[in-house]
Amino acid sequence: MRILYAMISPSIILQVGQAMESYSRFLDAFKGIFIATMTFLIVLAAGVGWFMARRAVSGVEAVTRTAQKISGGILEERVPVKARGDEIDQLATTFNQMLDRIQTLLTEIKEISDNIAHDLRSPVTRIRGVAEVTLTTGKSLNDYENMAASTIEECDRLLDMINTMLMISKTESGVDKLSHEEINLAALIREACELFKPTAEDKGLSMRCDVPEVSPFIGDTQMIQRMISNLLDNAIKYTPSGGSVAVSINENETQVVVSIEDTGCGISPNDLPRIFERFYRCDQSRSQPGIGLGLSLARAIARAHRGNIAATSIPNQESTFTVTLPKSLSSDHRRQ
Ligand code: ADP
């Protein structure tokens, strides 16, 4: 009950009352509904929160699990990408791309070390073999002189290989290591052709050098000479008697394109993407001398000059190597 009192006169008190039963029923019903609704909402919010947190953390957990497996030695492992396109998917995709790159680099390093080991073992075995035979059967001074000569020859081959590898590393370290000289590229190529002409003629090959009088270019003379020599040497080496080798220059205002074409054994489509890798040699050319570093060095030199080198070929018919070089080494010329 709600009751009001009022003193009307000293002897009269007025008392008025109202029954509160209906209000109490309403409040009780309201309390019941409020508690039930709030309990339901709190449970629902906790459930949704837990689900969202799990969903977010599960992606990070997948990355962590993959990283743990990789550190345990399974480099082929990748984080599953759920195609939701959210931040976790982006993290997983970037992580997988990084792993792909690391795996490729490790495979390349392994192949290079295998090749170095293989290419070092053969000459060292030969040097040891010759020394052993001379020691056990050699009688005359002549035998020992032959052993010394053969050792020098093998050592020269080894030194050539080691020096070429060092040169590739140095060249790959960037344009700053190059000297920036003003070169007449056309004259440089003409000289190289003259130098290789006797070798080509001895092999029964015709050689054409179709270059302009002057072709100005800024770069490292020694490096460019080395690159052209490697390409000419290959063209002559891999072209059988009766074939031809042609060198030409095409240029515009910003770049110069040197093409070296031969009518040689060609390169199969399987080998073509790999010939610029260190130590890679196509099967059909194993009978020829070489260590498989010439084209790697040529490409490193072209790239150090902010250019590039590409090869096209028709097996058993022809090969063309195209070197594209910007005329100036200034940094506004990007790699092709
Ligand atoms: P190599 O010392 O074997 O010549 P390179 O790096 O210069 O090494 O060349 C790699 C491989 O590419 C060669 O072994 C050869 O199989 C192939 N090649 C390069 N130039 C030519 C060419 N002009 N014609 C055919 N094959 C070529």
Measured in angstroms, how far is the CA atom of residue 288 from the centroid of ligand 1?
9
Q: What is the pLDDT of residue 176?
A: 60
Alpha carbon 92 to its chain centroid, in Å, reads: 21
Pocket test of ligand 1: the residue of 229, 238, 297 to mutate, having most ligand atoms within 8 Å of its CB, is 238
Nearest ligand 1 atom, CA 321: 23
Q: What is the pLDDT of residue 336?
A: 38
Q: Is the CB of residue 238 below 6 angstroms from any atom belonging to ligand 1?
A: yes
Nearest ligand 1 atom, CA 235: 23
The band of 42, judged by pLDDT with boundaries at 50, 70 and 90, is very high
Q: Is the dihedral of CA 45, 48, 52, 55 positive or negative?
A: positive
CB burial of 94-109 (b: ≥16 within 10 Å; e: otherwise) equals ebbeebeeeeeeeeee
Q: Is the CB of residue 265 below 6 angstroms from any atom belonging to ligand 1?
A: yes
According to DSSP, the residues that pair with 251 across neighbouring strands are 256
Measured in angstroms, how far is the CA atom of residue 166 from the centroid of ligand 1?
20
Measured in angstroms, how far is the CA atom of residue 151 from the centroid of ligand 1?
26
Q: What is the pLDDT of residue 331?
A: 52
Q: What is the pLDDT of residue 185?
A: 93
Count CB atoms within 10 A of the CB of residue 74.
Answer: 10
Highest mean pLDDT among 19-23, 105-109, 134-138, 240-244: 240-244
Q: What is the pLDDT of residue 14?
A: 92
Q: Is the CB of residue 205 below 6 angstroms from any atom belonging to ligand 1?
A: no
Q: Whole-prediction pTM value? A: 0.71
Phi, psi of 86, rounded to the nearest 5 degrees: -85, -175
The band of 266, judged by pLDDT with boundaries at 50, 70 and 90, is very high
Q: What is the pLDDT of residue 241?
A: 94
Computed over every residue of the chain, the mean pLDDT equals 89
Mean pLDDT in residue range 175-185: 81
> How far is Cα 228 from Cα 266, in angstroms, rounded to an integer?
19
Tens digit of each residue's pLDDT (9 = 90 or more) over 56-103: 788 788 888 888 888 887 888 888 887 777 788 888 889 889 989 988
Q: Is the CB of residue 275 below 6 angstroms from any atom belonging to ligand 1?
A: yes
Mean pLDDT in residue range 213-222: 90
Two structure tokens written together for 218: 């800024």
Mean pLDDT in residue range 207-215: 91
Q: Is the CB of residue 294 below 6 angstroms from any atom belonging to ligand 1?
A: yes
Q: What is the pLDDT of residue 333?
A: 44
Two structure tokens written together for 49: 């929160």
Q: Is the CB of residue 300 below 6 angstroms from any atom belonging to ligand 1?
A: no
More confident residue, 243 or 116: 243
- Which residue's CA is the closest to the ligand 1 atom numbered 13? 281
In the predicted model, is pLDDT for residue 330 greater than 70?
no
- Pairing assessment for the beta strands 206-210 and 244-251 based on DSSP bridges: parallel
Q: Is the CB of residue 260 below 6 angstroms from any atom belonging to ligand 1?
A: no
Tens digit of each residue's pLDDT (9 = 90 or more) over 103-129: 888 888 888 888 888 888 888 999 999
Measured in angstroms, how far is the CA atom of residue 317 from the centroid of ligand 1?
15
Question: If DSSP states are collapsed to H, E and C, what string results for the chain?
Answer: CEEEEEEEECCEEEEEEECCHHHHHHHHHHHHHHHHHHHHHHHHHHHHHHHHHHHHHHHHHHHHHHHHHHHCCCCCCCCCCCCCCCHHHHHHHHHHHHHHHHHHHHHHHHHHHHHHHHHHHHHHHHHHHHHHHHHHHCCCHHHHHHHHHHHHHHHHHHHHHHHHHHHHHHHHCCHHHCCCEEEEHHHHHHHHHHHHHHHHHHCCCEEEEECCCCCEEEECHHHHHHHHHHHHHHHHHCCCCCCEEEEEEEECCCEEEEEEEECCCCCCCCCHHHCCCCCCCCHHHCCCCCCCCHHHHHHHHHHHCCCEEEEEEECCCEEEEEEEEECCCCCCCCCC
Please check whether residue 17 is in contact with residue 2, taking contact to mean a CB–CB distance below 8 angstroms: yes
Tens digit of each residue's pLDDT (9 = 90 or more) over 282-315: 888 778 888 889 999 999 999 999 999 999 999 9
> How far is Cα 284 from Cα 270, in angstroms, rounded to an integer?
13
Nearest ligand 1 atom, CA 264: 24
- Which residue's CA is the closest to the ligand 1 atom numbered 7? 294
- The position carrying tokens 């290789």 is 196
> How far is Cα 230 from Cα 298, in angstroms, rounded to an integer?
7
